[in-house]
A and B are shown apart, each in its own frame.
Chain A
Amino acid sequence: MIRGGKSVERHLCERCARQSSLAPSVPPGTSAASAIIAQAIVESGAPDAERGGPVACPACGLALSQFRNEGTLGCPGCYDAFAHKLNSLLERAHEGGTHHTGKVPKRLARERDPRRAGDGGGSGGAGASPQQIVIGLEERKRRIASIQKQLEDAVLAEQYERAAELRDELRRLAPGDEGAAGGGGAGA
């Protein structure tokens, strides 16, 4: 296929290939990302085990082989777990794109630079930044309990601003569990 005057290869998942009436070059029954993944691994020249890197995601247990069959990942943590395998797949699926250059959640932008009132600017940089990618349900419960305790202490110590911040944090994690701090929201 020609694009911008140069010959470019496009790899389509089976669903897209079917829609564009191009005959898929993989046998039917092979799932969406399967062809792309298989190709990426073949071209990397070595089977999973030899390349190193996990064969399963430590957060949700999804095996790489399962991903190959189903075409979808198991949890946010899979992106880190399978990062090295995903590189070539993403490059093919996104026409060479490998890094996010779009919108940033306002809260992350504020945490990185508290002076900025969340203009959402800046792309993902190389520096360390708070990544809340994986928190299990158990840990979520622990965090909720911990924040509740801190909230009570702050109220007792009359640190109302801190209490308000903690209450907001609590609301984000557990909307049903607010204490006396006026629940119910701005009505939609």
Chain B
Amino acid sequence: MNEAGGPLPLEQVRRGAAWLCQRGDDHDVVVSTRIRLARNLAGLPFNARANQEQRRAVIELVRGAIERSELPGARGVPPQITWSELHRLAPLDRTLLMERHLISKEHAKLPNDGSAGPRAVAISMPDEGLSIMVNEEDHLRMQVLGGGRSLESAWARADAVDDQLEAALDYAYSPRFGYLTACPTNVGCGVRMSVMLHLPGLRLTGELEKVKRAARDMTLAVRGFYGEGSDAVGDLFQISNQTTLGKAEGDILRELDKQILPEVIEYERASRRLLIERRTKMLEDQVFRALGTLRYARLLAPEEALTTLSMVRLGVLTGLIADLDEVQVTQLFVLSQPAHLQRVLGRELDQQQRREARAEFLRQRLTPAAGGEARA
């Protein structure tokens, strides 16, 4: 297991996450899939109540368990696992990991007064499809990421990782309550299964609220791009299960994958068809204004970048824009984020400089070169 200096090699940062690079199932609507398992070790307080000695004990125990396990890789290739202690990373690198959805916002936050406890993350390389956070709200939060709609394969991998770690650790578990978690809202299966959906069609046809309400009625949480407390910028929404007790993992998966998803996907596709067939000019206007902004603006704030990229992605998927690649556009949602910009350009930038850099970066990426091919 490699101890990383910076968490990810620069070339990998530039390329974007592997799982975002493939066209997964239903990729036109489902951008990505994520399954997260919460586990705690027996015999120790939950993280918030643990003292520094106990928190270090958790880190050592989990690190040892990961080193002794044969964690499954993506597509059958055994992964390399990098291990990063977060207080040893530069703040920019922590933000980078958060932008790539490898750690949560909570895990990335480290106030300088030293009050926050030690925490770490193990990441499978080069696929970045598995990350194991240590000392977040729970001792262990392992998550599997995949492109497109891939709940079944994500669950298979998460389940296997869980088995491996469980064999080398003492999980806190009770037959009555299941896997014990710091927050009772996670107890039981301790699993959060979610998909990230791109729903610009539903927003433009005014049907988004209806779908959000329907999802909530089926006890599904609806969140924005960066999870709890975030807004739906860029027309990106996470839908996930809310309950974890009284249902088995297979039921949770089936409800999301077989009941909810097919309907939402079809709603979004239907609204896109409607826009193409009956509101062509409105659609073209939205898409080409956005493309124009991205190709000519000199200053771009992150939010405007996401809203314009959303329209460009829609333009590519509806065939209005023929000279850009969908996967490359999707990658830009992450690559245009603040920490990514600075790492890719190789220097730290203040807010104004970032707005300038973002505009130039996106201009280059979205303007086909003279030969007619979009720059990679």
Contacts and interface: CB of A to CB of B under 8 A. Distances in A.
B372 to A, nearest CB: 44
A32 B183 CA distance: 10
A134 interface: yes
Nearest to B185: A93
Contacts of A136: 43
A124 interface: yes
B248 interface: yes
B245 A90 contact: yes
A120 to B, nearest CB: 8
Given A96-B246, A106-B166, A175 B65 contact: yes
Among B40, B173, B184: residue with most chain A CB under 10 A: B184
A103 interface: yes
Contact of A72 (B53, B66, B159, B182): B182
Contacts of B167: 106-107
Contact of B217 (A1, A16, A97, A125): A1
A84 interface: no
A93 B184 contact: yes
Contact of B43 (A2, A94, A132, A186): A132
Given A76-B42, A100-B189, A135-B43, A185 B180 contact: no
A188 B43 contact: no
A101 B248 contact: yes
Contacts of A100: 174-179, 187-189, 245-246
A124 B248 contact: no
A181 to B, nearest CB: 13
A137 B163 contact: no
B1 A124 contact: no
Nearest to A13: B185
B71 interface: yes
Interface string B267-296: 000000000000000000000000000000
Contacts of B352: none
Contact of A90 (B40, B46, B166, B187): B187
B246 A97 contact: yes
Contacts, number: 198
B69 A140 contact: no
Interface string B212-233: 1000111101110000110000
Interface in B229-249: 229, 242-249
Given A80-B174, A137-B54, A105 B166 contact: yes
Given A13-B185, A100-B178, A176 B60 contact: yes
Given A80-B174, A94-B246, A133-B42, A175 B61 contact: yes
A140 B187 contact: no
B16 interface: no
Interface in A37-82: 60, 62, 70-76, 79-80
B46 A75 contact: yes
A132 B42 contact: yes
Contacts of B245: 90, 93-94, 97-100
24 contacts: A15-B229, A19-B229, A32-B183, A33-B185, A79-B177, A89-B184, A94-B244, A95-B219, A97-B246, A97-B247, A98-B245, A99-B176, A99-B246, A100-B179, A100-B189, A103-B162, A105-B166, A107-B166, A125-B175, A137-B43, A137-B54, A175-B168, A176-B60, A184-B67
Interface of B: 1, 40, 42-46, 48-49, 53-54, 57, 60-61, 63-71, 78-81, 137, 159, 162-163, 166-180, 182-185, 187-189, 191, 212, 216-219, 221-223, 228-229, 242-249
